[in-house]
Amino acid sequence: MLFLLFAAAAAQAPPAAEPTSLNPHAVELFERDAVLNAWAVRTFDRNRDGWLTSYEAQPAVKTFKEMADTDRDGRVTVREFEDARSWVEARFGATAQSASAP
């Protein structure tokens, strides 16, 4: 389910940078995954309100996709997604709980 959501989000991302086109599913990826959300908020929450808006989620999804797509075929497989998520969890998971706002 999460992968399908992410795949859909990735598929809708334009190949060239188009800041005006928003991926409405971008924020859903993080809303549904606490680990990825913690990472994305730490890195992309520009106004530091502890929450990712659709605008803030765009570069987060793009970065995560680039991070996950290790073979650079433009698609993120389940395995690539899990590997990337595990990496994020290992690196940021431990601090995610203490970093979350009360």
Which residues contact Ca ion (rule: CB under 5 A)?
Answer: 45, 47, 49, 51, 69, 71, 73, 75
Shortest Å, Cβ 98 to Ca ion? 19
Q: How many alpha carbons lie under 13 Å from residue 61 in its C-beta half-sphere? A: 29
Give the residue with the Cβ less far from Ca ion, 45 or 83: 45
How far is residue 94's CA from residue 18's CA, in Å, rounded to a whole number? 34
Shortest Å, Cβ 7 to Ca ion? 11
Shortest Å, Cβ 91 to Ca ion? 20
Give the residue with the Cβ less far from Ca ion, 25 or 52: 52
